[in-house]
Amino acid sequence: MTTWRRPSHVAVVDQPAAVTGDGSPGGVVYLGPLPDGPVVVLQGVAAVIYRAAVSDTGTDLVELVAAGLGVEPAEVDGEEVEQFLTELRAQGVLEASQPG
């Protein structure tokens, strides 16, 4: 199972209560790779997925995302979640590691 973490060179500003333009839950997360950016802005579902990935609670990722969205785990596509996290990794704002 892949675990995720924020790289040490990425600054984060998390505003979970922020209202997004479309009114979706989840707020906003700003990720700023230092020193040169660019800043990545995650809103709504994307912010919920990011928070779940870096939460380090030991809880199943799909369950965390579902709880953050207020839906049942069966309504969350685990493959899409992993694909999104892989995209964040490619942008350099998330790191993956395999537990030892």
> Tell me: the pLDDT tens digits for 75-87?
999 999 999 999 9
Q: Is residue 98 in some structural domain?
A: no
> Tokens 């380090």 label which residue?
56
Q: How many other CB atoms are there within 10 angstroms of residue 22's CB atom?
A: 7
- In this prediction the pTM is 0.89
Residue 23 has what pLDDT? 66
Cis amide leading into 38 (omega within 30): yes
Residue 3 has what pLDDT? 87
Q: Is residue 100 in some structural domain?
A: no
Q: How confident is the model at residue 22 (pLDDT cuts 50, 70, 90)?
A: low
Q: Is residue 86 in some structural domain?
A: yes
Mean pLDDT value of segment 8-30: 85
Q: How many other CB atoms are there within 10 angstroms of residue 36's CB atom?
A: 6
Start-to-end CA distance of the chain, whole Å, equals 11
Q: Is residue 99 in some structural domain?
A: no
Structural domain total, the chain: 1
Percent of the chain with pLDDT over 90: 71
Q: Is residue 63 in some structural domain?
A: yes
For 53, the domain range is 3-93
Mean pLDDT value of segment 61-82: 94
